[in-house]
Amino acid sequence: MTLNALLFQALNGLSSASGLFFIAAGLSLIFGVTRIVNIAHGSLYMLGTYIAYSLATKIGGAFGFWGGIVLTAIIVGVIGALIEIVLLRRIYRAPELFQLLATFALVLVINDATLWLWGPEDLLGPRAPGLAGAVEIFGRRLPSYDLFLIFVAPAVLIVLHFALAKTRFGRLIRAATQDREMVGALGVNQAVLFTSVFALGALLAGLGGALQVAREPANLATDLIAIGDAFVVVVVGGMGSITGAYLAAIIIAEVKALCIAIGVVDLGFMSVNFSKFTLVAEFIVMAIVLVTRPYGLLGKPQGMVRSVAEPEDPIRPATPMLKGLGAAVFILLLALPLLAQTSPYLMILAIDVLIAVIFATSLHFIMGPGGMHSFGHAAYFGLGAYGAALLVQLAGFPMLAALLAAPIIALLGALLFGWFAVRLSGVYLAMLTLAFAQIVWALVFQWESFTGGSNGVIGVWPSPPFDKSWVYYLLALALAVISVLLLRRFLFAPFGYAMRAGRDSALRAEAIGIDVKRIHWLGFAIAGCVCGIAGGLFAFAKGSISPEAISVGRSIDGLVMVLLGGIQTLVGPIVGASVYATLQDTVMRQTEYWRALLGLIILVLVLAFPQGIAGALSSLARKLGRKPGGAA
Amino acid sequence: MSVLSVQSLGKAFGGVRAVDNVSFEIGKGEFLALIGPNGAGKSTTFNMINGQLAPDAGDILIGGKSTARMKPRDIWRLGVGRTFQVAATFGSMTVVENVQMALISHAGRILNLWRPAGSLYRGRALELLAQVGMADAADRPSRELAYGDVKRIELAIALANDPQLLLMDEPTAGMAPRERNDLIKLVKDLVVERGISVLFTEHSMDVVFSYADRIIVLARGRLIADGDAAAIRDNAKVQEVYFGTGKTFQEASP
């Protein structure tokens, strides 16, 4: 590799940094003021590319392209404002996780709307009029448009910086980022402020997406990829810091470019293709930054967010009624194979539900009592699934041994990732866990020779007698019951109490000798371990495992299940997982636009049941004047 | 040997010397008040003693052991209980569970994954609650309690590890005058009985002058006076720093 090649890649990195910067800057602004982590921000970015494509091709010419980019930014800004007014404004008072859920529902809806409007094909926009050529630089040809992008981001950064520093609107944004309640108390109209900030953030994302139109094709997968990258950038740069976002975008893009420039390196015993590990490199940068500067490069510790969530009731041992109900459900489930004689699909559905129950219960373990909102629980599902599948394929493990190994592999992963994650809290923790899940996904996806790449591992079928679906179902049932009861037992033991103590008041917990980080780390590891069981079961149930099954979508599924059921109750995740998995397997299969349908269902639930299904039921029971079952 | 010995303690935030060369000691069973006008460095001193802040200079000895670089939880293990200025309990637990939590931690059984915690040390926790007059509320969620009662729960939690030293940051902040006296009287009775030393910061002068065995006064980060109520009341420097603040240094009328 020559120095010129390296410098050329560095330039390339600078131009991809601009896209990252636009989306991260918007995300950061919105979070700073409204405290909403807008997962749909990647979708707005994606919309930007699609809209700019249409304007550039339909209107055509220099005006269609350049005017189209400006117009796109404005359109996306207006869409952002509408989203804020119609949806988010109703849920500012809801627990913060519900806001995440709502924005995730938007991701689904926007994705399907885009599919409906533009179709599934990748769409490459025209070359930029006036910048179609290339410049010779470091002995290679760099498209002039890329060169243009290198300068756009700093230009916008400077404009934003002065707008924030000098204008009244900018001062309000900065003030609200520090203490939004105080800003409200001082008589600032929060509704207008929030809407305009959301519109501005959306506009930036739309602009970033639109500018990509001549560089990369519009693609339906961009939304989640972009939001994943943007999370990393925002975390590295520091929440709420625009300059930090720019700095981080540059660093991340440069590190990736460097990996590509290094290419294949012969280490003597093996050759490593660094260009395949761009995502891993991104993660390493983030991990280093978070360990040394937990609030990002230019971030400041968050102002205290006064929780608006409903306070949680003390947990109580199961009442006789609940125990009886549990036993009845268990007996019904045991008898389920008898019913399945007539509809064989029932067993497949039931296995899916049981896997979902283990997955959701383990996630709830850290999200609810631990207060750690993991956005990357798919990582441990994936480690379990791939661990089991690869042990069968490469090491010839029998099924039961592989199923036993799955939670152990997941445990090791959770111990490693959890060690970093528990050093953070709130959104930072959510984003870090998401990033870890993306790393696992990327490793699996990019390390073709070991994991089969995008095809995954196939031919992982259960051995007899488990090859009959009803026997496998009973195995899954046994594992699900054991997992749920075990996690429940842990929650009622001193460990579970200590985990809640650390969540309720870390200060107080430390003052009575509890090492909160250590307790939360162990909790994280336990949850990961149990989640690995679900992963192992999944691999054998489907006979295969592919990267798609462990993508960010699965992490989000888990969040939806937990919140749907109600995070403050212990039976919540079981209810949520059952409802959600059943919906997914039945209603969703009926339509091509299942994402949009799912998104709409989530939105309705978020608006109608802010405490989740189980939470709503127990509130109802209380209202009816019966003795409340507590958070049993 | 003194229970707590603070030696030439110093802490600066940027250019501000919040605490500057402060030294004092607490003997066994002593009820020591740390007072001073706003910004005097009381909280900073306090937070260095309880381990939340690391001092820039000087040393802190608790039971002869240097704790200047220790974490709050390790200091607690040395037998130091504490209560917070803004009372902090575990809101998702019942009152008795709050105390049980401290007892479980004291017994080193936090990592237990099996035994139901609800039955561990419940008897002892109820005893402690009875001592602070909160036995009736044992099974209520702690977040439902009135603020004054939360302060009492905190006291029960702080006594759970049989402390030698109790650190109380503004124990009566946010309470009505009547409640204040009751709480301090309760604290005093409990600690005298057990021979516990207490260091407390306090804004309410009537409380300080009625109950403290000894008073130390901070102003602008420096220790300006150390003595009993009468000596402090007559101290010219103290009168100067408090002049115009409306404080009267009167004992509470019984």
ipTM: 0.93
Q: pLDDT higher for A328 or A341? A: A328
Question: Which residues 281-340 of A are in CB contact (within 8 Å) with B?
Answer: 311-315, 317
pLDDT of residue A187: 85
pLDDT of the residue at B250: 61
Return d(Cα A87, Cα A110) in angstroms, integer: 14
Q: B-chain residues within 8 Å CB-CB of A312?
A: 91-92
**Residue of A314, A498, A519 with shortest CB distance to B92:** A314
Chain B touched by A495 (CB under 8 Å): yes
Position with higher pLDDT, A307 vs B248: B248
Of the residues A192, A219, A246, which one is the last residue of a structural domain?
Answer: A219
CB-CB contact of A477 with A537 (8 Å)? no
Report CB contact under 8 Å: A489, B113: yes
Predicted pLDDT of residue B246: 61
The chain B residue lying nearest A631, using CA atoms, is B92
Lowest-confidence region among A79-83, A617-621, B84-88, B172-176: A617-621
Provide, rounded to the nearest whole percent, the portion of chain B with pLDDT above 90. Answer: 69
Q: What percent of chain A has pLDDT over 70?
A: 96
Check residue A629 and give its pLDDT.
43
Q: Give the pLDDT of residue A310.
A: 53
Which one of A523, A558, A593 terminates a domain?
A558
Q: Do A495 and B111 touch (CB under 8 A)?
A: yes
User: Is the per-residue pLDDT at A430 higher than 90?
Assistant: no
Cα angle at A243 between A34 and A24, to 5 degrees?
50
Whether B93 sits inside 8 A of A504 (CB atoms) is yes
Q: Say if residue A628's pLDDT is above 50.
A: no
Q: Nearest CA of chain B to the CA of A491: how many Å?
A: 8
Test B92 with A494 for CB contact under 8 angstroms: no
- Chain B residues whose CB is inside 8 A of the A511 CB are 50, 72-73, 76, 82, 84
Nearest CA in chain B to A370: B92
* Last-in-domain residue among A502, A531, A558: A558
pLDDT, tens only, A233-244: 888 898 878 899
**Judging by DSSP bridges, how do beta strands B80-83 and B165-169 pair with one another?**
parallel
Taking residue B242's Cβ as centre, other Cβ atoms within 10 Å add up to 19
A183: pLDDT strictly greater than 90? no
Nearest CA in chain B to A515: B73
Interface touch A494/B72, C-beta < 8 Å: no
Tell me the per-residue pLDDT of A530-570, one tens digit each, with 9 for 90 and over.
999 999 999 999 999 999 899 888 998 898 899 888 888 88
How confident is the model at residue B247, as a pLDDT? 65
**What is the predicted pLDDT for the residue at A313?**
81
| Pair type for strands B16-26 and B4-13 | antiparallel
CA distance A417 to chain B (A): 21
A462 DSSP assignment: P
Which residues neighbour A307 within 8 Å (Cβ) at sequence distance 6 or greater? none
Report the distance separating Cα A492 and Cα A498, nearest Å: 10
CB contact (8 A) between residue A513 and residue B88: no
Q: Give dist(CA A418, CA A424) in Å, integer.
A: 10
Looking at per-residue confidence, does B29 or A4 come out higher?
Answer: B29
Q: Do A512 and B105 touch (CB under 8 A)?
A: yes
Interface mutation target, options B90, B98, B144, chain A, most CBs of A under 10 Å: B90
List CB contacts (< 8 A) between B159 and chain A: none
Residue A91 inside a domain? The answer is: yes
Which parts of chain B fold into alpha helices (H)? Answer: 42-49, 72-77, 95-106, 122-131, 147-158, 177-194, 205-211, 229-234, 236-242
A115 token code pair: 């599919």
**B160 in A contact zone (CB under 8 Å):** yes
Closest by Cβ to A489, choosing from B82, B97, B114: B114
Is A566 part of any domain? no
The pLDDT tens digits of the residues spanning A8-25 come to: 888 888 888 898 899 999
Contacts of A525 in chain B (CB under 8 A): none
A246 to A49, A119, A155, A177: CA distances (angstroms): 21, 33, 11, 18
* B195 exposure class (CB count in 10 Å sphere: 0-12, 13-18, 19+): exposed
Q: Which two tokens stand for residue A337?
A: 């194979």
Tell whether A112 is covered by a domain. Answer: yes
Q: How many domains does chain A have?
A: 2
Q: Which long-range CB contacts under 8 A does A318-322 form with residues at least 24 apart?
A: A318/A632, A319/A629, A319/A630, A319/A632, A321/A629, A322/A571, A322/A629, A322/A632
Q: Are strands B65-66 and B57-62 parallel, antiparallel or unpaired?
A: antiparallel
- Domain hosting residue A193, numbered range: 3-13+23-219
| Preferred mutation among A504, A512, A514, A522 to probe B, highest tally of B CBs within 10 A | A512
Is residue A523 pLDDT above 80, yes or no? yes
Q: In the predicted model, what is the mean pLDDT of residues A141-153? A: 88
What is the pLDDT tens value at each position of chain B, 254 positions in all? 689 999 999 999 988 899 999 999 999 999 999 999 888 899 999 999 999 999 999 999 998 899 999 999 999 999 999 998 887 789 999 999 999 999 999 999 999 999 999 999 999 999 999 999 999 999 999 988 888 899 999 999 999 999 999 999 988 888 888 888 889 999 999 999 999 999 999 888 888 999 999 999 999 999 999 999 989 988 888 888 886 666 666 665 44
The nearest CA of chain B is from the CA of A90 a distance in Å of: 27
- Closest Cα in chain B to A371: B92
| Residue B201, min C-alpha distance to chain A (Å) | 18
Is A394 domain-assigned? yes
Mean model confidence pLDDT for chain A: 87
What is the distance between the alpha carbons of residues A381 and A353, in angstroms, rounded to a whole number?
Answer: 15
The model's confidence at residue A214, banded by pLDDT at 50, 70 and 90, is: confident
Scanning B15-34 for CB atoms below 8 A from A yields: none
Look at residue A631 in the predicted model and tell me its pLDDT: 42
Tell me if A510 and B73 make a contact (CB, 8 A cut-off). Answer: yes
First-to-last alpha carbon distance for chain B, in angstroms, is: 35
Q: Give the pLDDT score at A627.
A: 46
DSSP codes of every residue in A176-201:
HHH-HHHHHHTT--HHHHHHHHHHHH
CA B223-B228-B233 angle, to 5 degrees, is 80
* A585 found inside a domain: no
Q: Are residues A352 and A215 in the same domain?
A: no
Judged by DSSP in three states, A395 sits in: helix
Place of tokens 């919906």: A583
Asked if the Cβ–Cβ distance from B116 to A519 is below 8 Å, we say: no
For residue B117, give the nearest of A492, A511, A522 by CB distance: A492
pLDDT score for A309: 47
Question: Do the Cβ atoms of B90 and A501 come within 8 Å?
Answer: yes
Pairwise CA distance, residues A438 & A42, whole Å: 15
Please indicate, yes or no, if residue A627 is contained in any of the structural domains. Answer: no
User: Do B110 and A498 count as a contact with CB atoms less than 8 A apart?
Assistant: yes
pLDDT at A302: 61
Give the per-residue pLDDT at A206.
95
**Higher confidence at residue A308 or residue B64?**
B64
Chain A contact set for B121 (CB, 8 A) = none
**Which chain B residue's Cα is nearest to A489?**
B114
Average pLDDT over every residue of A290-303: 77
- Given an 8 Å threshold on Cβ–Cβ distance, is A492 in contact with B111? no
Query: How many residue contacts between A and B have a Cβ separation below 8 Å?
Result: 111
Flag whether A521 is in a domain: yes
A411, A419 contact by CB (below 8 A): no
**B101–A501 C-beta distance less than 8 A:** yes
C-alpha count within 13 angstroms, C-beta hemisphere, residue B246:
2
Does a structural domain hold residue A610?
no
> What are the residues whose beta carbons fall under 8 Å from the beta carbon of B151, sequence distance 6 or more?
B83, B87, B171, B172, B175, B183
Write the DSSP string, A26-71.
HHHHHHHHH----TTHHHHHHHHHHHHHHHHHHT-HHIIIIIHHHH
Q: What does pTM read for this prediction?
A: 0.87
pLDDT of residue B248: 63
**Separation in Å, CA A347 to CA A337, A352, A473, A533, A605:** 7, 9, 7, 19, 27
Residues contacting A331, CB < 8 A, separation 6+:
none
Q: Check CB contact under 8 Å for A498 and B105.
A: yes
pLDDT (tens digit per residue) in A18-74? 988 999 999 988 988 888 888 899 999 999 999 999 999 988 788 888 999 999 999
